Homo-oligomer: A and B are copies of this chain.
Amino acid sequence: MPPSPTRPQGRPSATDHAAIEHAAFRLFEEQGFDNTTMEQIADAVGVGRRTLFRYFPSKNDIPWGQFDESLRHFREQLASQSLDGTVADAVHRCVVSFNDFDPATLAQHRTRMTLILTTPTLQAHSALKYGAWRRVIAEYVARRTTAAPSDPLPALVGHVSLALAVSSYQRWLDHPELRLTDVFEESMRQLRTYLS
């Protein structure tokens, strides 16, 4: 027997993250995020409201999809950076690559980010998501600089990297003709110019 994708045991799942996301985004687009209730999403998926909360800890987390898992990749990519260049270059490379999406999924990503960046409720929630992202960077910088725990640099780099990323995204959403990674590079250049 081939060790088939073992269905462990127990009652099979009635849905999955992708199906919920799909139904939810359709409703968000039709009625807006705040006007869509978890009950409506549950009905659209064909599942109980209670079950939704087992897949996403909150309604605000639905637009973020598998963000938390993607942080693991981000962490690993940072860890595998060569130690030759500067810390700033390594961080910048990984931040850009973290946001370099397959053209096939780009449209979906644009929809996602538009929702997140234009809905106040989600703007607020994103602070928590961003916090986890910043922490990944801060941990890397701390390791690379063998900084004391109280060294302010790691946290600062996390915050500034986020600042660059979010303002790049805002520009990218306004200008669909630009490539996201190019916008990142341009923002970085602008910041360097501004500060000198």
Question: A residues bordering B, Cβ < 8 Å?
Answer: 87-88, 120, 123-128, 131, 150, 152-153, 155-160, 162-164, 166-168, 170-171, 174-175, 183, 186-187, 190-192, 194-196
Q: Whole-angstrom distance from the CB of A131 to the nearest CB of chain B? A: 7
Q: In the bound complex, do residue B124 and residue A156 qualify as a contact, i.e. CB atoms below 8 Å apart? A: no
- Extra pairs beyond A126-B127, A152-B171 (13, CB < 8 Å): A120-B128, A123-B128, A123-B131, A124-B124, A127-B127, A152-B183, A156-B163, A156-B167, A156-B191, A159-B162, A159-B163, A159-B164, A162-B163
Contacts of A156 in B (CB 8 A): 163-164, 167, 187, 190-191, 194
Q: Which of A120, A155, A163 has the most CB of B within 10 A?
A: A163
Question: Which B residue's beta carbon lies closest to that of A159?
Answer: B163
Contacts of A160 in B (CB 8 A): 160, 163-164, 191, 194
- What is the count of identical protomers in the complex? 2
Q: In the bound complex, do residue B190 and residue A153 qualify as a contact, i.e. CB atoms below 8 Å apart? A: yes
| Cα A138 to Cα B87 with chains together (Å) | 29
Contacts of A87 in B (CB 8 A): 194
Q: In the bound complex, do residue B194 and residue A196 qualify as a contact, i.e. CB atoms below 8 Å apart? A: no
